[in-house]
Amino acid sequence: MSLFQKAKAEFIDIIRWTEPADSDVLAYRFERYNNEIKMGAQLTVREGQAAVFVNEGKLADVFGPGMYTLQTQNMPILSTLKGWKYGFDSPFRAEVYFIVTRQFTDQKWGTPNPIMMRDKEFGVVRIRAFGTYAMHVTDPAVFLRQIVATNPSIESVQVSGQLRDTIVSRFTDVLGTANIPALELAGNYDKISKLALQTIKPDLASLGIELTLFYVENISLPPEVEQAMDTRTKMGVLGDMSQYTRFQTATAIPLAAANPGGGMAGLGAGMAVGMGMGNQMAGAMASNVGAPPPVPAGASYFLAVNGVQSGPFDMAAVAAKIKSGDLKSDALVWKNGMAGWAAANTVDEIKSMFAPTPPPIPS
């Protein structure tokens, strides 16, 4: 035997593979000269690995972690394929794949397009979600058949697309059957994660892969829906919008009285801001009320009915509103020259327009 042949024989006598640092390799085909393996060779399989022998395209024996001396006794399938009935001592040809069985953590998933779901409160809404998962190969033989085939090396990125598609599809099914309101999704991430994990597992088992962890990190609604929710929250904090408007009006009156330079213009502007905010949030007005326009010639009054300012109205218009019942005796009125708003039944020009109230019937 030449020196080169002796060195080659000693080289193929040891079969082992060390996974590179920071590697995402899931499967690696052990390279050797002419795929020749000597009977009695030493096979070393480390923790987190499995070694799979393939002979002439057929999957043969699978070895878990440990050190093995390759003999017909511990290679029953390959021995059968080769027809070694009485032992074999010469080199034989077979491909050896090392399958990584450790966990691959911090894998990302997310919905590339919004998921449509029906909510009892908001109707049909679109949501997005993302999170992380962890997986590992549980069945090296199935993984080799379904994923590796004849590839010399497989990395996790080459299967992550298939995994993400499966995860998103099953996650959509879980959301549709969980019947969790949109406002309560944030408080049920753990429940949704566990349901999705159990739903996804059977699909990945057919690939020889198991999902060990699955987390939902965020479920978000469209920005316009979130804005509507914020507005609704503000309304809930403020309470009764009509009471809020009256409060703004009452606050504006003393502020205007304390500002002689501003006079009634300051009062009108303050009231307009207060009533505008309340009515806008309640949806009662299309736009904020501005300051009163210049007072026309003659007696003209501004009216405040149910916290809403209107006018100015001349005396004929005021009389018409009293007759129609739109202006009650306790409604507030104001005209240029008055120190502040006053009840209609206290203003000399107006109180005579109300029908007199008869005195109590004597006993």
Write down all domains in the chain, each with its CATH number in brackets: 3-100 (no CATH), 104-139+150-226 (3.30.479.30), 239-290 (no CATH), 292-357 (3.30.1490)
Whether residue 52 contacts residue 140, with contact meaning beta carbons closer than 8 Å, is answered with: yes
User: Residue 302 pairs with which residues in a beta bridge?
Assistant: 334
User: Residue 109 pairs with which residues in a beta bridge?
Assistant: 131
Q: Round to whole Å and give the CA distance between 144 and 161.
A: 18
pLDDT digits (tens, 9 = 90+) for 72-97: 777 877 777 776 655 666 678 888 99
DSSP per residue, 3-50: HHHHHHHHHTTEE---PPTT--EEEEEPP-GGGEE-TT-EEEE-TTEE
User: Residue 129 pairs with which residues in a beta bridge?
Assistant: 219
Its sign, for the CA torsion 129, 130, 132, 133, is positive
pLDDT tens over the chain, length 363 residues = 455 444 444 444 789 999 887 788 999 999 877 777 888 889 999 999 999 999 888 888 999 999 998 887 778 777 777 766 556 666 788 889 999 999 999 999 999 888 888 888 778 888 899 999 999 999 999 999 999 988 888 888 889 888 999 999 999 999 888 888 888 888 899 999 999 999 999 999 999 999 999 999 999 888 887 777 777 777 676 666 666 676 667 777 766 666 655 555 545 555 555 555 555 555 544 444 455 655 445 568 888 887 788 878 888 888 888 887 777 878 888 888 787 888 878 877 777 777 776 777 877
146 DSSP 8-state letter? I
Buried b (16+ CB within 10 A) or exposed e, 314-334: eeeebeebbeeeebeeebbbb
Whether residue 285 contacts residue 325, with contact meaning beta carbons closer than 8 Å, is answered with: no
